[in-house]
Structure 1
Amino acid sequence: MSESPKHGWRPGAAKKEHIDALAASGATVSDAGNVDEKPGVSLIASAWKRLRRDRIFLIGLTITIIFVLVAIFAPLIAPHDPTKPIPELIAKVRRQTNPIPGPEPGFPLGADDRGRDLLSRLIVGSRQTLIVCVFATIFSLLGGLILGTLAGALGGWVDSLVMRVVDILLSIPSLLLAFSVAAMAARPSQWTVIIAISIAYLPVFARLLRGSMLAQRHSDHVLAARALGVKRGAIVFRHMLPNSVGPVIVQATLVLATAVIDAAALSFLGLGNPDDRQPEWGQMLGKAQEYLADYPHMAFYPAACIIVVAFGFTLMGESLREALDPKSRR
């Protein structure tokens, strides 16, 4: 057969070269079809391999780690007692007409209207913010797992009943729903904020898990387990739930970010812990509105902390979702 006028390529030339290469390597007929066995890589290991090269994820992870460490070791890091007025700052307030002491040596951010060190209150307030957002996320995750498992595993009227309740909750904006739940409490406290945020985000987890479990219901390994006579409980908890919970865990990292903002909003509106001896960023932001016109830094510092922490959780959650989602892998 004549050569191609353009590139001199002949049909079957590549196949012939491949055969010649195999012959030169000494391969035998028994080696045909064999492939080199390599250890498999789990989904988590594969995701981590991509995440550790993702700058966005590393930035979010760094912010989150710093926030968690500051919250855990807040009493040791805070330079002063956040609940007690500093005598020298109180004296300065009395000598001047300025009700808010500004920054000075030993007090880099100044003090609040009661002479308490603002930096110490921000550091200790991170602990209250962490407690609220973590417990709210955990409670909403557990509630969503229960409802989503019931709806996705049982189906029928159970699925219809659970999903109608979830649809009603989803029809109300999350912050408005949390505000309504917190407002029904006889006395506002930190736990009313936690419960309110948990109820607001519970339907998100329930619907997400239910959708994942419905997709798993008709998968090959579930059908095979049914054909072998495996009981429904074993199929749900050993096959369907473990393979459906991944997207829910990723969603939890995103809920952490919104929980920080919602907790601050509820505390800002006066529905959080009224005792300012336990500082919290949203509570501090609400107290600062009285002096916002003349002393905007009182509101700037807690607002900046809220924004940075929520931003860190968001970066980490979005990167984690992309790493675990097969459709978005590069």
Structure 2
Amino acid sequence: MDQTDEPTRRTSYGQRRKDRIDALAAASIDEEPGISLIRSAWKRLRRNPIFLVGLAITVAFVVLAAIAPWIAPWDVTASPLLDKVRPQTNPVPGPEPGHLLGGDDRGRDLFSRLLVGSRQTLVVGVFATLFGLLGGLTLGTIAGALGGWVDSLVMRIVDVLLSVPSLLLAFTVASLAREPSQWTLIIAIAIVQVPIFARLLRGAMLAQRSSDHVLAARSLGVRPWAIVFRHMLPNAMGPVIVQATLSLAVAIIDAAALSFLGLGNPDQRQPEWGQMLGLAQRYISEAPHLAFYPAGCIIVVALGFTLMGESLREALDPKSRR
């Protein structure tokens, strides 16, 4: 082979490579517009059957709880079946026309009390989760933003609360009240929820402290509290919102457990599923359906919130999108 042709071949190969690169650079590339995290999550969620089932259960529960007093066929304080209650032979009236599920031991319509009881269950669950979320946001923001000894102090308090089983802690707080009521349930369950939200938000805030946009804001001289509330906190709220959905299911179960133990609202004119479950234990052998219906409602509603929360967590998790 002639060695004088070697530089020519190299130049020709280099020129062809340069022309190829120039052609690729000059070619028009069709770029798709960016998709936000929320839009991407919703695109995945609407194709997820588990999320759709959980959403259907949750929406049905909320709607029924909102309109329950208007669609209940009987007044929950009335006793239309009282004349059929016979302690020796028929302590609990069974189903009959006009009374889909029959009555309880006081002749009250069971179906109406289940419908109206859904409202009390929803109120306790929502307010307990909301107060727990607010308390957790406060502690988590302080610990994650300030750091140092403040972070250590707050986290040691959170560790102490987390070391006690949640139901035992809620039972202890609720038993301190002079008289049990609906608000004692809400406060007790909210205190249980506070350390969960605080630890989760604190971890997310610490991750945001070393992010690029926070460092850029500091280099521009933005005030520290403006960085916390405008940059760190909004970007750390995603996991907390998902946890709130899951905590709502736990709050409903804990509220039912405390009501079953007699620490809820003692006023039977305002029925609640846990309260109904506690009253039914006296007739568990003669009329097990008195316990089956409220227990089934609690399980189905808690399952709906859990399915929806788990689907949200997976949709918003960057690792699950790979």
Deviation string 1:189-209 (CA, Å, 9 cap, x unpaired) is 000000000000100000000
Residue of structure 1 in register with 2:4 after alignment: none
Amino acid corresponding to residue 190 of structure 1 in structure 2: Q
Residue of structure 2 in register with 1:199 after alignment: 191
Residue of structure 2 in register with 1:145 after alignment: 137
1:76 aligns to 2:76 (yes or no): no
- Counterparts in 2 of 1:249-268, with a 5 A limit? 249-268=241-260
Deviation (angstroms), 1:77: 1.4
Q: 1:105 to 1:141 in 2, by over 3 A?
A: same
1:54 aligns to 2:17 (yes or no): no
Residue of structure 1 in register with 2:180 after alignment: 188
- TM-score, normalising length: structure 1: 0.89
Q: Helix, strand or coil for the counterpart of 1:73?
A: helix
Residue of structure 1 in register with 2:109 after alignment: 117
User: CA separation in 2, counterparts of 1:321 and 1:199?
Assistant: 23
Amino acid corresponding to residue 210 of structure 1 in structure 2: R
Residue of structure 2 in register with 1:209 after alignment: 201
User: CA separation in 1, counterparts of 2:28 and 2:125?
Assistant: 53
User: CA separation in 1, counterparts of 2:266 and 2:76?
Assistant: 16
User: CA separation in 1, counterparts of 2:273 and 2:87?
Assistant: 29
Residue of structure 1 in register with 2:5 after alignment: none
Deviation string 1:122-163 (CA, Å, 9 cap, x unpaired) is 000000000000000000001000000000000011101100
**4+ residue runs over 4 A deviation:** 27-31
Aligned partner of 1:129 among 117, 121, 136: 121
User: CA separation in 2, counterparts of 1:161 and 1:132?
Assistant: 30
Residue of structure 2 in register with 1:278 after alignment: 270
Q: Is the 8 A contact 2:117 2:272 kept in 1?
A: yes
Q: 1:29 to 1:95 in 2, by over 3 A?
A: closer
Deviation (angstroms), 1:39: 2.5
Aligned length, in residue pairs? 305
Q: 1:325 to 1:95 in 2, by over 3 A?
A: closer
Deviation (angstroms), 1:33: 7.1
User: CA separation in 2, counterparts of 1:35 and 1:169?
Assistant: 56
User: CA separation in 2, counterparts of 1:299 and 1:310?
Assistant: 17
Deviation (angstroms), 1:30: 9.4
1:178 aligns to 2:131 (yes or no): no
User: CA separation in 1, counterparts of 2:94 and 2:292?
Assistant: 14
Deviation (angstroms), 1:38: 3.2
Q: Helix, strand or coil for the counterpart of 2:85?
A: helix
Structure 1 gap segments, 5+ residues each: 1-18
Aligned partner of 2:160 among 164, 168, 171: 168
1:317 aligns to 2:305 (yes or no): no
Residue of structure 2 in register with 1:294 after alignment: 286
Q: Is the 8 A contact 2:84 2:107 kept in 1?
A: no
Amino acid corresponding to residue 57 of structure 1 in structure 2: F
Deviation (angstroms), 1:287: 0.2
Structure 2 gap segments, 5+ residues each: 1-16
Residue of structure 2 in register with 1:3 after alignment: none
Residue of structure 2 in register with 1:8 after alignment: none
Aligned partner of 1:228 among 220, 223, 227: 220
User: CA separation in 2, counterparts of 1:96 and 1:191?
Assistant: 38
User: CA separation in 1, counterparts of 2:24 and 2:69?
Assistant: 70
Residue of structure 2 in register with 1:16 after alignment: none
1:41 aligns to 2:39 (yes or no): no
